[in-house]
Amino acid sequence: MYILSEKSIPLVKYMLERYDMYHITNFPIVAALQDGGCVGKDPINLSAQWLYDRHGLNTSLPQYDTQLKRITEFTYHGDYLKTLRQRINIVNELIDCNLDSNLPVHVSCKPKSDKKITLDLESKDSLSNLHFICHPGQTRIQGSIFLRDPLKNILFYIKKDFSKNIDVKEYPYIKKVNNVDDLIKCYRPYIKNKNDSYYYDFFMPSFDKGLKYHGFTESYILKANNIAALPNKKMHSSFFYLLNTFISMNKFSSILFNNKLNIYTNNINKAKEIVDNSQNTILSSFLSKENYQNFLNLTKINKVSEPWGYESCNNYNYTFESNKSYFKQNLTDEEYDFFIKFENLLNDKNSKVKNTLNLNFIENKSLSNFNEIVNHNNKKGICFVLDTDKVKTFNRDLYELLFCIPAKFSVSCNKEKSIAVINCEHKGWQNKKDYKQYTFTKEFFK
């Protein structure tokens, strides 16, 4: 049973009358990329950001190597979405809920012209005809892109002023929201008890009409301001989210820094080559001249996303504003020459990019026996497995797997168990009933 707040009733009515809303339970990655924080709408660039930008794994991991540092980072950056803490936490949460979050990600669109178009969520060409906003839920969108796995709780809005020119292609995972009952199914309490009654409040007092607004698409959305188990127990996921980011990062870091980062493989030379090539695939793919210009271009074509590697002055510093005068829209010949030298350096076999974490390669012939590997790793820390007989190449940096091993999981691996990241401290290795495995999708390694 649910109850709407008094001020929410006219807001819900307003939205049902003026918007076509759809509940989407398998939001394609190509659709998520329309506003997913990626330069060039390419997933590999998100990987590059998460590894190498100011808050990337290789850049900022030392900020988390002691609990005092983790507390300091948390109090300083708070809810800033680009921190490594936020990025690791959102991937952990999505793995844990199988990408079906309690609250919907809100996505609205607006056509770029008055022409009649078909909206096909699986067609890049079709999607290019529309502007998109994904918010609240930008971190979940990015987490979905990182995992290459579709989100399962999307609330999609098309203003009826626009929808007369938009034909939405039907898929089994798209369902029209026709009434309040359909709508409420998208908003689930943080903890749901069968016999509880829940109170929903969509009124946003600081916004016009009491509704959150997507200015870029001229669309209002129904963000839940409060969900409570009656009489007054808070059950809105956002009430718990920020603290959970610290808890998950604290657990992950305490495990990671408890041991050397070992990688178990059947052929050390081949494994080193695969790891180096995979890393350079990320670096060389996103460091094109076009992308490099975008990094320095403060007036990017994509007006929604920030330039890669720089932060807007949104909640704790003025880095972006203070550096405006130092960057140009286009590269000079001298800048481009430097860029080419840098790109060549990345591919120089004798000059590898150094990581914050150094891999310690260990030859082992029993790679399928994860229990044995855990014991060899002294049941401490996190380690990798790479079977070079079954894996010749993969298009991810090995360090990206560190985002994908929540503390409550024993192992994350592909279906063949030839690539794995193992939490050696999980109780499931001693207690089989608590063993928990996450299996990467095939798309993850594409």
pLDDT classification of 304: cutoffs 50, 70, 90: very low
pLDDT at 195: 74
Strand partners, 233: 229
Least confident of 158-167, 189-198, 386-395, 408-417: 189-198
The 10s digit of each residue's pLDDT in 350-397 is 544 445 578 999 999 899 999 999 999 999 999 999 999 999 988 899
**What is the rounded (10 degree) CA torsion for 413, 417, 423, 429?**
130
CA atoms within 13 A on the CB side of 71: 3
pTM: 0.87
Task: Decide if 419 contacts 386 (C-beta within 8 A).
Answer: yes
Does one domain contain both 123 and 200? yes
Of the candidates 382, 402, 385, 409, the residue with the CA atom closest to the CA atom of residue 98: 409
Tell whether 211 is covered by a domain. Answer: yes
The 10s digit of each residue's pLDDT in 10-19 is 999 999 999 9
pLDDT at 337: 59
Does one domain contain both 153 and 234? yes
pLDDT at 96: 96
Burial of 320 (0-12, 13-18, 19+ CB in 10 A): middle
Tell whether 253 is covered by a domain. Answer: no
Does one domain contain both 231 and 349? no
Alpha carbon 148 to its chain centroid, in Å, reads: 9
Domain termination site, one of 206, 240, 274: 240
The 10s digit of each residue's pLDDT in 111-139 is 999 999 999 999 999 999 999 999 999 99
Between these two residues, 330 and 57, which has the higher pLDDT value? Answer: 57
Q: What percent of the chain has pLDDT over 70?
A: 84
Does one domain contain both 196 and 272? no
- Does the pLDDT at position 338 exceed 70? no
Phi/psi zone of residue 379: left (φ > 0), alpha (ψ -120 to 50 degrees), beta?
left
Domain termination site, one of 188, 210, 240: 240
Q: Which two tokens stand for residue 218?
A: 């001229």
Does one domain contain both 192 and 286? no
- Does the pLDDT at position 39 exceed 80? no
Tell whether 354 is covered by a domain. Answer: yes
Tell whether 250 is covered by a domain. Answer: no
Does one domain contain both 37 and 160? yes
Task: Print the domain residue range for 303.
Answer: 258-446
Does one domain contain both 197 and 266? no
Does one domain contain both 134 and 178? yes
Angle at Cα 95 formed by Cα 214 and Cα 357, nearest 5°? 100
Does one domain contain both 90 and 181? yes
Domain termination site, one of 179, 210, 240: 240
- What is the average pLDDT across 202-230? 94
- What is the average pLDDT across 167-178? 98
- Does the pLDDT at position 274 exceed 60? yes
- Does the pLDDT at position 299 exceed 90? no
Tell whether 390 is covered by a domain. Answer: yes
Tell whether 353 is covered by a domain. Answer: yes
Task: Decide if 23 contacts 177 (C-beta within 8 A).
Answer: yes
Does one domain contain both 418 and 348? yes
pLDDT at 289: 59
Does one domain contain both 383 and 410? yes
Angle at Cα 122 formed by Cα 305 and Cα 439, nearest 5°? 85
Tell whether 251 is covered by a domain. Answer: no
Does one domain contain both 190 and 280? no
Of the candidates 41, 1, 64, 441, the residue with the CA atom closest to the CA atom of residue 250: 64
pLDDT at 400: 97
pLDDT at 322: 31
Specify the number of domains making up the chain.
2
Q: How many CB atoms lie within 10 A of CB 9?
A: 13
- Does the pLDDT at position 298 exceed 90? no
Tell whether 190 is covered by a domain. Answer: yes
